A and B are shown apart, each in its own frame.
Chain A
C-alpha cells in the first residue's frame, strides 16, 4: 500500500511557467513533509520541507502548500527553468520513523 501518492508521473512545462506536483497521504500522524529533488546520476537532495501546523512555506521559487483537512500537499515551482528539470519526490514521516516516499515526478522544463 502506497502511503504517499504522488501525481503526475511526468510533467512538461514551458520555461517561465509554473510547475505543480501533488501528493496525498492517509496517515494523519505524519508530522513532517519534505520534497526532494534528484538529478540523473545523483541521489535525492532535500529541497524544502513543511510541518502540518503551517499551510504554506516558500523558499525562493519553490513553495509548499499544505492542506491538512484534505491530507494533501503540493510543490509549486514558479518561473520554471530548464535547470529545474529533474525528478521530484514528496515524502512524509511520523516522529522519528523513516521517510516514506512517493513514486516521483519527472519534470521537464522546455525553452
Chain B
C-alpha cells in the first residue's frame, strides 16, 4: 500500500456521461497530481493542486475539472465522456512541490467509456 488511495478502481460508463474520481493523498502530503495513462501516450500530466489551490495545469481538457478539498483529498471530474477518454487515471502526492522528492502514486482508476 503506497498510502495514496484512489477510488473507484474500475469504472465503466457510457459516452456523454459524467464521472468523479477520488484521491486521498499520503498522510502529510500537500500536493496532489493527476495523470492520465494510455497505451500510446504514456503518462500525461493533467493538473496539480497544492494545499487546496491549483498550482499547475497540463493537457487537461475543458470537459475535465478537479479540486482539492480542505482535508486535502482531491476529485477529478470528467464530463461529456468520449470513447477516447478511456484510460488509467492516476493520482500522485508529494510533500512539497518545491523539494526534490519523488511522487507517491496510487493504484489508479481504470475508466472504460462504452
A-side interface residues toward B, CB under 8 Å?
A: 6, 31-32, 34, 36, 41-46, 49, 51, 89, 95-104
Contact A44 B43 (CB under 8 A): yes
13 inter-chain pairs at a CB distance below 8 angstroms, sorted by A residue, are A42-B107, A43-B2, A43-B4, A43-B92, A43-B106, A49-B102, A96-B98, A96-B99, A97-B56, A98-B48, A98-B58, A102-B42, A103-B41
- CA of A36 to CA of B82 in the docked complex: distance in angstroms? 29
Nearest B-chain residue to A103, judged by Cβ: B42
Nearest B-chain residue to A6, judged by Cβ: B42
What is the minimal beta-carbon distance from A43 to any residue of chain B, in angstroms? Answer: 3
Interface size class on chain B is 20 to 34
Contact A96 B4 (CB under 8 A): no
Asked if B64 is at the interface of the complex by the 8 Å CB criterion, the answer is: no
Interface residues of B in 36-50 (CB under 8 A from A): 40-45, 48
What is the minimal beta-carbon distance from B26 to any residue of chain A, in angstroms? Answer: 12
Nearest A-chain residue to B56, judged by Cβ: A98
Interface residues of B in 99-114 (CB under 8 A from A): 99-100, 102-108
Partner of A43 from the list B40, B56, B99, B105 (CB cut-off 8 Å) is B105
Contact B102 A34 (CB under 8 A): yes
Nearest B-chain residue to A32, judged by Cβ: B100
- CA of A97 to CA of B98 in the docked complex: distance in angstroms? 8
Nearest B-chain residue to A93, judged by Cβ: B100
Contact A45 B2 (CB under 8 A): yes
Partner of B90 from the list A44, A95, A96, A104 (CB cut-off 8 Å) is A44
What is the minimal beta-carbon distance from B64 to any residue of chain A, in angstroms? Answer: 16
- CA of A15 to CA of B47 in the docked complex: distance in angstroms? 39
Contact A46-B102, Cβ < 8 Å, known A99-B45, A101-B43: yes
What is the minimal beta-carbon distance from A109 to any residue of chain B, in angstroms? Answer: 21
Contact B98 A95 (CB under 8 A): yes
